[in-house]
C-alpha cells in the first residue's frame, strides 16, 4: 500500500510539472486534450444478497490512452475512444471455495477469524466518451464533463481469503469475461471525479449455498487525472 501511495503522489507531482511546461508552450489551434489518464476508485457492490456485506477497502486502479477527436472548430466538443488497463478488488464476507471443478459461495462459519476476503479482476478496457470542455489553445485549466461507456474484457480473476491461521487463493472462472457500464467524469484542471455504473454483473449465473443469486454490480466512484 505504501508503494501505491508513493506512485500516486509522484504522479500528481509530475502532473504539476507537466502543467507548467505546457503553459510555456506556444498556442496550437489544433490542440488535443486529455489523451492519457490515471484513475483511482472505491468500489461499491450493488445487488448483494441479504447476508453479504463489504469489508476492508475495495479499491480500483486504471490507466490508459484515449484518442481525442474534436467535433467543432473551437475543439470544446469531442469524442474520445481509448484503450486502458484496470485492476479492481471487491472485499466482502462471502468466501469463494474451490471444490473439485466447482466453486461454492458462502459466509464462512469462522467469519470472525476472516481477515481479508476478495475477488480481484484484471481487465483490458475500451472507454468511449462524449466530451465537453471549456479549454482553449492557450489555457490548460478548464472545466470538463465527459460521459460515455466502458467495455472491459477480463484477463484474469482471482478469489482470495485470508484467515488467522491459513489462506486460500485460486483463479475464479465464474467471473463474466465481458463487463460493461456507463461512465461520467467531471471536474476542473487536474482533479476530476469519475463514476462508473455497471450494466451487468461480475459473476455469470452463480448462487450462494443458500440458493440466493449473486448479482454483484459494481458502482465505482473516485478520481481521474488527465494529461496531454
Neighbours of 24 (CB within 10 A): 6
SS3 assignment, position 9: helix
> CA 195, CA 88: separation in Å to the nearest integer?
14
- Match 481479508 to its residue by C-alpha cell: 116
The list of the chain residues with pLDDT below 50 reads: 2, 5-6, 9, 12-16, 18-25
- Match 472505491 to its residue by C-alpha cell: 42
Torsion of CA 179, 184, 61, 80, to 10 degrees: 80
C-alpha Rg value of the chain to the nearest Å? 20
Pick from 67, 50, 78, 199: which is nearest to 127 by CA? 67
> CA 113, CA 5: separation in Å to the nearest integer?
28
> CA 180, CA 82: separation in Å to the nearest integer?
14
* Predicted pLDDT of residue 9: 47
- Match 494529461 to its residue by C-alpha cell: 227
* Predicted pLDDT of residue 27: 53
pLDDT tens-digit series, residues 203-217: 999 999 989 999 999
* Predicted pLDDT of residue 28: 61
* Predicted pLDDT of residue 3: 53
Pick from 150, 148, 206, 201: which is nearest to 177 by CA? 201
Neighbours of 92 (CB within 10 A): 23
β-pairing, 178-188 with 167-171? unpaired
What is the grid cell recorded at 177?
469475461
> CA 111, CA 71: separation in Å to the nearest integer?
54
SS3 assignment, position 56: coil
* Predicted pLDDT of residue 200: 96
The one-character DSSP state at 207 is B
* Predicted pLDDT of residue 31: 83
User: How buried is residue 119: exposed, middle or buried, by Cβ count under 10 Å (0-12/13-18/19+)?
Assistant: buried
* Predicted pLDDT of residue 162: 95
Amino acid at each position: 500500500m505504501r508503494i501505491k501511495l508513493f506512485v500516486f503522489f509522484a504522479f500528481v507531482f509530475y502532473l504539476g510539472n507537466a502543467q507548467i511546461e505546457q503553459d510555456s508552450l506556444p498556442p496550437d489551434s489544433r490542440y488535443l486534450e486529455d489523451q492519457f489518464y490515471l484513475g483511482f476508485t472505491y468500489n461499491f457492490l450493488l445487488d448483494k444478497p441479504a447476508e453479504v456485506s463489504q469489508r476492508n477497502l475495495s479499491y480500483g486502479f486504471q490507466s490508459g490512452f484515449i484518442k481525442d477527436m474534436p467535433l467543432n472548430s473551437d475543439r470544446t466538443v469531442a469524442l474520445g475512444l481509448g484503450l486502458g488497463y484496470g485492476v479492481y478488488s471487491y472485499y466482502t464476507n462471502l468466501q469463494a471455495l474451490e471444490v473439485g471443478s466447482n466453486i461454492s459461495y458462502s459466509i464462512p462459519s469462522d467469519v470472525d477469524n476472516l481477515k481479508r476476503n476478495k475477488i480481484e479482476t484484471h481487465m483490458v478496457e475500451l472507454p468511449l466518451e462524449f466530451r465537453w470542455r471549456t479549454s482553449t489553445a492557450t489555457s490548460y485549466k478548464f472545466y470538463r464533463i465527459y460521459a460515455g461507456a466502458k467495455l472491459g474484457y477480463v484477463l484474469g480473476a482471482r478469489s482470495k481469503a485470508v484467515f488467522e491461521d491459513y489462506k486460500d487463493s485460486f483463479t475464479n472462472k465464474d467471473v463474466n469475461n465481458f463487463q460493461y457500464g456507463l461512465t461520467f467524469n467531471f471536474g476542473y484542471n487536474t482533479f476530476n471525479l469519475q463514476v462508473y455504473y455497471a450494466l451487468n454483473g461480475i459473476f455469470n449465473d452463480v448462487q450462494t449455498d443458500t440458493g440466493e443469486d449473486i448479482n454483484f454490480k459494481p458502482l465505482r466512484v473516485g478520481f481521474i487525472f488527465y494529461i496531454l
